[in-house]
Structure 1
């Protein structure tokens, strides 16, 4: 045996490396204890455990979270309401713009229609004035041609012969009869009804209405009239009145409901033209 076998060693016992365990958790909103264990002695020694109480750090957290969530929800609702209001305002503005455009369009259309109506009325007035001037000129010409003929010359007896004389005699025989629109005799007439009946008495079949009678024969000048010619007022083919020239600057016609069938000088109502059938 070694002479040192019974000499106790002066080396200190080896300590194991400190071991620390940390366990922490949150249970019920409270941080649990922290356990620290360290080997203070030989490996076989019992670990030392120290408990440290930590303060609660989540106290009052749930009400704050709820308040924050409520505030967030309110902001979201406010944003949604604002978006709806903005959309409604945009829609209203669009509708107002469309309504304004439609009102402007209607106003322009009305303005154009009024301008067209005024132009039409002006053109009509101008045409009527021109027609009156033309008739006045014709009246002056016919008055000069008929000399001093007056209503007293209504007893003028035509010197026409043959068919023309018969037509004139028939027409003069109806002087004094009534004027009735659509009348064809024997005691009431309209203008074209009298002319048609007068020519029918000599076997000449004329159209019934003034428009057609104004183109039934050969157009002749008012300065070259012969007894038996058909006089017309208005345009050829669109005449509104007819009568029969009886010679001596006079005519017979069913004028209107006030005068009936009369014999008058051409200056009484100058015609527009004449046609010759016989």
Structure 2
């Protein structure tokens, strides 16, 4: 026996022909598959890829919604403009009202001051009237030349009309601060209990007619014919008379020469 007989051979065992054939078939199939895949990949790589995007179709409903949205936007803009105009108008009105209020306050203050002054003047005039009436009554008892009787009625009438000097002439006025001619006479003689008629025509025939050359203080002077006189006043002595003359002079004391009367009546 050879000395190498017990050592395994270093040669690879021989494969059977069937095994080799099977493996060759598998390899051939794999290579075929790869070739097909490669060819397919090359073909695909050669053709560009195209992607189609479909846009939404503008349907009738969508168009209506767009139109409605636009209309709503326009309406909102119009409302905003209207509100802005209203706010501007309100601001202007508030400013004007504030100015009117300030003017009204100033006017009210002015009127209040004028009323206060007028009240003070009336109070002063009333006090003067009281003093004059008292003085006239006191003097009437000691001076018969200025009155027509012992009661001093003429002096009281004269004191009253003189206290009204400066008052306004107003047609139909019967006092206390504005008079017409017959209204002043009626109120003056009422102070001594004589109830004269209201108008000058009737006053010119009330009492006894006297000559202008024989006048006494307290006589009623008239202008025009007796029974149709258009003006009356009272004679206060010393060639003077007091009457509510006209809107220009108001109640004033004038000489007989200023406007000579037509006649006179005596009621005291």
Q: Which has the higher strand share?
A: 1
TM-score, normalised with respect to structure 2: 0.45
TM-score, normalised with respect to structure 1: 0.43
